[in-house]
Structure 1
Amino acid sequence: MKKKIVDSLQQFSKGMFVPVLILPIAGIIIAIGNILTNARLATYLPFLKSPLINGFGKMLSGSLVSVLVNLGIIFCVGLALGLSKEKKADAAFTALLSYLVFINAMNIFLSITGKLVPVDKLRGSGQALVLGVQVLDMGVFLGIILGILVAYVHNKFCNREFQGAWQIYGGSRLVFIILIPVVVLLAVACSYIWPPIQSGISSLGNFIHATGNFGIFTYGALERLLIPTGLHHLVYTPFLYSQLGGAATIGGKLVEGARNIYFAEMADPSIAQLSSSVIWDARGLSKMFGLIGACLALYHTAKPENKKKIKALILPAAVTSIIAGVTEPIEFSFMFTAPLLFVIHAVLSGLGMVFLNIFGVRAIGPNGFIDFLLYNLPLGIAKTGWPKFILIGLVQFVVYYVVFRFLIEKLNLKTPGREDKKEDVQLYTKKDYKAKAEGEALSKDNEEDMAAIIVDALGGKDNIKKVDNCYTRLRLIIGDVSKVDQQVLKEQTGANGVIVKGENVQVVYGLQVTRVRKVVDKYLGISAE
């Protein structure tokens, strides 16, 4: 049972990537729009005063905010797409239809039962306008529930076909036929069930916020501790996109979730001070500063004869962490060889977020320095306090360095470059590490060879049941995990780490994982869909 639960959560976490990874794009476009309409910048850059550029900036900011206030339908379609096993386009289209059926069915039922509140009294009523239809305000949770439901029914019935005159009702059309009564009944049920759930979510959010720094610390530490399982997305996603991360009325619209509130506030120049909810999206502090101190400690504590090789490993990983916020290449370098350091890393990451809150920092830095600059600089120091973010980050850099170096030397931890066997660190050359970091290991000349090595290390074609990927990991379902050669995957294919949980195998490749997935799919003859 435990294995099934973990497997299901991992599948759900993977599916969440489809909607979640598109949302930062909306944020970046809003940030660019904010730059084009920034009055302070216009003083130094006169071309920004042009009505054309200013108007274009307002269009960018205003139009993308609509994405953030319609997360329900985005998560519904995205999750159905991500969780469906085949015919993904059909699943996404069915999800869209199901969402429309649900909100209209709920609206009609609430109207029949006299539960609809007057439109001018929506605020605080627990109801909202969704795509112009008044329903209970289920927010992103409606999208998640419907997305999972559609994917489940789709996977079960999408290949069911009929003969004769009934054949036009098979496949994806059958899926929608089945879903219509199910979704209508779900809308009726949610009309009774959701209000107490909504009250519970609100109370939980209030409790988390009431615990103040303890709640922030727990959130920050858990978000890192769950990295090995791939379930860390389930910690931060509800805070970023649901009522747990706060709720605010901005520009006459109710906005829920820390990141959504931040982006909506970015697009509204009348707001003088950002809300405190944005602290939940300050996860990039340890990515841009803390782990870089850890990298320096790993380098300085390596054996003298191994320093060159360790530098070749650490430097690209550190740059990737600072610029793009991808930390797994660093974390996997000590996660299994020195798990105590990983626990310390989680604790220090949580404490970093606490100090941001103590000093009233409202800057966010979710995915590295590029995002940090785009999101915070245009808003100014008064709104975000971004210089204090950097100062706290520099302190965190020092703390990570001192603590990591002390523990490594005091406890003689076998971090990279300190292994007893000399050959352990001689398996790589500087060229190998550089190739891995730059993606050269998958150049066009050796893509097929690399794919063959990966597949063989996973036990061969017949041993691979399913291939998928998230932002940094190749995720597979393997028939016989005993055939998986972790050493070959790490040494010959550039993997930063391998995690085996039952039949689920995750191979960490960092930012080049999409390319790895593509060549493996091609080698296995898997459809491009």
Structure 2
Amino acid sequence: MTAHKEEMLATKKQKSGSSKWNKFLTMLQELGKALQFPVAVLPFAAILNRFGGLGISFAEEGSVGYWISYIIQKPGSVAFDQLPLLFAIGISFGLAKDHRGEVTMVAAIMYLIIILMTGEHGIPEMLYGNVLTFEAHEQVWNADLGAMETVINHYSSLMYVGTENSEGIYVGATYVLNVGVLGGVVSGVLAAVLYNKFKEIKLPAALSFFGGRRFVPMIGIVVAMGLVFAFAITWPWIQLVLMMMGQAVADPTNPAVAIPGTGLYAFLNRLLLPFGLHQILNTFFWFQMPINGDVIDPITGAISETDKWINGDINAFAGGLNTSGLFQSGYFPIMMGGVPAIALAMIFAAKKDRRTEVAGFLGGVALVSFISGITEPVEFSFVFLSPVLLLVHAGMAAIFMMITTAMQIQVGFGFSAGFIDYVVSFAQSWGLSTHKGGAMQVVSNPLMMLPLIAAAGGIYFFVFSLLIRKMNIQTPGREEDGGFTTEPVEITSNSGSAAVVSTSKGTVSKADKYDVMAEKFVAAIGIDNLESIDNCATRLRLVLTNNKTIDTAAIKAAGAFGFKQLGDQALQIVIGPDVEHVANSMKRIKNV
């Protein structure tokens, strides 16, 4: 082989590897976006569940107050009880190319098959019923003797957890094998893959009725049967390891593991933020990891149920487990104190003649972070400007997460760690702290979160102000070229009409501001360069023919807080909570 041919082969191989990596990054972006569909249900569901549950605790059973609280609480609890199914439905819909509803039916069928056949007395017991067994001395009624008798049954530790009596003898067992949210995610992803591949399949004339989209449920059922055996073979072993990890990390009384474990999680979470992959990490800890503990009454702090397993930290907190909340509490100082302080530091670090302008948008998103816990608009203002600031942010997030773990403060959320969720979770958190008693009741009280929020705000403001000035980081308002559009910009829309807007001087716009922003983005990207347009909670998630040809300066000038290119095709543009309006406008421009 000649040197030229070897070089061509190496180049081809490199391009192939690069293409696969780009495709993988694009797929991860799509999955991260789709995860937002089921998660969007949780904020309101958490409010209903928490306040309704609190009312039930206060009211006398059967009273008017009890039934009102019941009506409020039950719709909220449904979202948490059926969360894996919501993930299957939401992810399949988000990943389907045409976002049609048929795919959600396929995902639901696949998930229901999986949980039915991996449930108690299902395929896992057929495979592992005699593996890692333990004895349980159970009392059963003998009709012939007319009395209770002790029967020794054997259960596999891969699927069951034993119930001990005061003498340490197992007197029963509970089936705990649960594919949980992972089963919903896998069902949703595969349903979408099958739908996208077979939705236009053509069958022979005699079978044409079952062609196209009608073919997808059939192939989905076949694939689900294969998934059942895949889960039945592998998941019992994986869950056993996860349960041991959950018992070690999600346990405030085991600080040697819990403190560094939660700190590492927070550090990785913030590092993955720029790539939009933190949602995948969150899905495991918030919705999948098995957590064991006692259920605590939020009013009295007394134990109402012992030795209960719940999948995911958010679900465990909603269920009142005394070991819950460790993967959520540390975010409250960051999102209510730290991130707003970053915005304040950038405002004061801006040039004097730009400070009012910068305060206009950074002040608003700082308030959004404090109230709702949505931090990305602030974070994307600096994460791509300086790796140092990103590392410092991740490091301080880890520190405050470890502090809340060490203090055993347990505050959960339904969506994010903002003021709304703090108020909603306060009663449950108070009950968990009351249960501890003694000095820890004071240290772990949810009111202790307030000085932590203030401390995080002060430390963040000082550190970021110092670093921005000392390192001359070009945060908003410090750019040498001005950074933002300050004069009216004329844009010609598809209809030919002009729209005049201004980002700083209040010029009256002849078009909806979202339409204007969308037109700027499309012009900066190229209408023929756009392959797909979607969004999550705060970002446009775009797939382009080539993301290297875009006008990055124009994207920033159009009002983006930041953007991230993944591979050669994926592009994320951070807009804020109103991103959906921009996405809809871009779709109208693209006619999709």
Q: How far apart, in 1, do the equivalents of 2:246 and 2:408 lie?
A: 20
Q: Secondary structure at the match of 1:510?
A: coil
Q: Residue 276 and residue 433 in structure 1: after superposition, are their counterparts in 2 closer, same or farther (change >3 A)?
A: farther
| Distance across 2 between alignment mates of 1:97 and 1:410 | 58
Q: 2-side partners of 1:428 and 1:229: how far apart?
A: 32
The answer to whether residue 335 in structure 2 is matched with residue 323 in structure 1 is no
SS in 2 for 1:308: helix
Partner of residue 519 from structure 2, selected from 442, 448, 452: 452
Aligned residue type for 1:65: S
Of 152, 167, 172, the match for 2:213? 172
Q: Does 1:126 align with 2:172?
A: no
Paired residue secondary structure (1:65): helix
Specify the SS of the correspondent of 2:319. helix
Bigger Cα displacement from structure 2, 207-216 vs 288-297: 207-216
Q: Distance in 1 between matches of 2:395 and 2:191?
A: 39
1:432 aligned to which of 503, 508, 524: 503
Q: Once superposed, what is the RMSD of the aligned Cα atoms? A: 3.3
Write the distance in 1 (CA, Å) between the matches of 2:23 and 2:362. Answer: 36
Q: 1:398 to 1:428 in 2, by over 3 A?
A: farther
Shift of residue 148, structure 1, vs aligned partner: 1.8
1:220 deviation in Å?
1.0
Q: Bigger shift: 512-521 or 114-123?
A: 114-123
Q: Deviations over 1:113-137 (max 9, x none)?
A: 6949999999966269xxxxx8942
C-alpha separation in 2, matches of 1:111 and 1:415: 58
Residue 505 of structure 1: SS of its match in structure 2?
A: strand
Shift of 1:396: 0.8
Alignment of 1:67-86 (within 5 A): 67-86=79-98
Residue 280 of structure 2: aligned partner: 234
CA distance in 1, matches of 2:523, 2:178: 50
Is residue 410–residue 429 contact of structure 2 (8 Å, CA) maintained in 1? no
Match of 2:447 among 375, 383, 387: 387
1:470 pairs with 2:517: no
Secondary structure of the 1:483 match is coil
Q: Is the 8 A contact 2:128 2:156 kept in 1?
A: no
Indicate the SS of the match to 2:542. Answer: strand
Which of 211, 223, 227 is residue 182 of structure 1 equivalent to? Answer: 223
Aligned to 2:146: none
Residue in 1 that maps onto 2:105: 93
Compared CA separation, residues 370 and 50, structure 1 to 2 (3 A): farther
Q: Aligned pair in 2 of structure 1 residues 376, 464: CA closer, same or farther (>3 Å)? A: same
Match of 2:115 among 91, 98, 103: 103
Cα 1:158/1:301, change in 2 over 3 Å: same
> 387-396 vs 208-217, which deviates more?
208-217
State the shift of 1:50 in Å: 10
Residues 447/25 of structure 1: CA separation in 2 closer, same or farther (3 Å cut): closer
Code of the aligned partner of 1:25: F
Larger deviation: 92-101 or 409-418? Answer: 409-418
Higher deviation after alignment, 93-102 or 208-217: 208-217
Q: Measure how far apart 1:88 and its partner are.
A: 2.8
Aligned residue among 486, 496, 520 for 2:586? 520
- Does the alignment pair 1:363 with 2:428? no
**CA deviation after TM superposition for structure 1 residue 75, in Å:** 1.8
| Residue aligned with 2:573, SS | strand
State the alpha-carbon separation in 2 of the partners of residues 499 and 277 from structure 1: 34
Matched, 1:354 2:421: no
Which structure has greater strand proportion? Answer: 2
Q: Which of the two has greater helix per residue?
A: 1
Measured after TM superposition, the shift of residue 299 of structure 1 is 2.1
Q: Residue in 2 aligned with 1:277?
A: 324
Deviations 1:320-377 (A, max 9, x none): 1111211122112222223311211111111111111122211235241112112215
What is the CA distance between 1:511 and its match in structure 2? Answer: 0.6
Inter-partner Cα distance in structure 1 for 2:98 and 2:206: 25
Could you tell me how far apart the structure 2 residues matched to 1:87 and 1:285 are? 38
| SS of alignment partner, residue 419 of structure 1 | coil
Give the Å deviation of 1:319: 0.9
CA drift of 1:96 comes to: 1.4
Contact 1:295/1:330 (8 A) holds in 2? yes
Where 1:184 maps in the other structure, the secondary structure is helix
Partner of residue 198 from structure 1, selected from 239, 251, 264? 239
> What corresponds to 2:268 in structure 1?
222
- 2:443 maps to 1:400: no
Q: Give the Cα separation in 2 of the matches to 1:153 and 1:426.
A: 46
Alpha-carbon distance between aligned partners in 1 of 2:463 and 2:176, rounded to the nearest angstrom: 52
Deviation (angstroms), 1:64: 3.2
Q: Would the aligned equivalents of 1:473 and 1:510 in 2 still touch at CA under 8 Å? A: yes
Q: Matches of 2:205 and 2:372 in 1, distance apart? A: 55
Q: Distance in 2 between matches of 1:412 and 1:92?
A: 50
Query: Structure 1 residues 449, 277: closer, same or farther in 2, change over 3 A?
Result: closer
TM-score, normalisation: structure 2: 0.76
Alpha-carbon contact 2:429-2:445 (below 8 Å) kept = no
Is 1:413 aligned to residue 473 of structure 2?
Answer: yes
Distance 1:340 1:110, change over 3 A: closer
CA offsets 1:23-50 (integer angstroms, 9 cap, x no match): 23321211221343464xx9xxxxx999
| Residue 52 (structure 1) aligned with residue 64 (structure 2) | yes
Distance of aligned partners of 1:446 and 1:374 in 2 relative to their CA distance in 1, 3 Å threshold: closer
**Structure 2: tracts of 5 or more residues without a match:** 1-19, 140-152, 162-174, 251-255, 296-304, 435-443, 489-500
Q: Which amino acid in 2 is paired with 1:515?
A: H
Contact 2:38/2:90 (8 A) holds in 1: yes
In 1, Cα distance between equivalents of 2:78 and 2:526: 47
Deviation string 1:465-496 (CA, Å, 9 cap, x unpaired) is 1111111111111112233222222223x211
**TM-score normalized with structure 1 length:** 0.85
Cα distance in 1, alignment partners of residues 536 and 374 from structure 2: 12
Distance 1:478 1:54, change over 3 A: same
Instruction: Report the 3-state secondary structure (helix = DSSP H, G, I; strand = E; otherwise coil) of the residue aligned with 2:335.
Output: helix
Query: Using the alignment, how far apart are the partners of 1:69 and 1:278 within structure 2?
Result: 18
Is the counterpart of residue 297 in structure 1 residue 345 in structure 2?
A: yes
Q: Does 1:343 align with 2:391?
A: yes
d(CA) in 1 for partners of 2:483, 2:37: 38
Q: 1:308 to 1:445 in 2, by over 3 A?
A: closer
| 2:145 alignment partner in structure 1 | none
- 2:25 matches 1:6: yes
Structure with higher Rg: it is: 2
Distance change >3 Å, CA 3–CA 446, structure 1 → 2: closer
Tell whether the 8 Å contact from 1:284 to 1:364 is kept in structure 2 after alignment.
no
Distance apart, 1:402 and its partner CA: 1.2
What secondary structure does 1:414 align onto? coil
Q: SS of 2:315's equivalent?
A: helix
Partner of 2:380: helix, strand, or coil?
helix
Report whether the alignment pairs 1:261 with 2:316. yes
| 1:108 Cα deviation from its structure 2 partner | 5.2
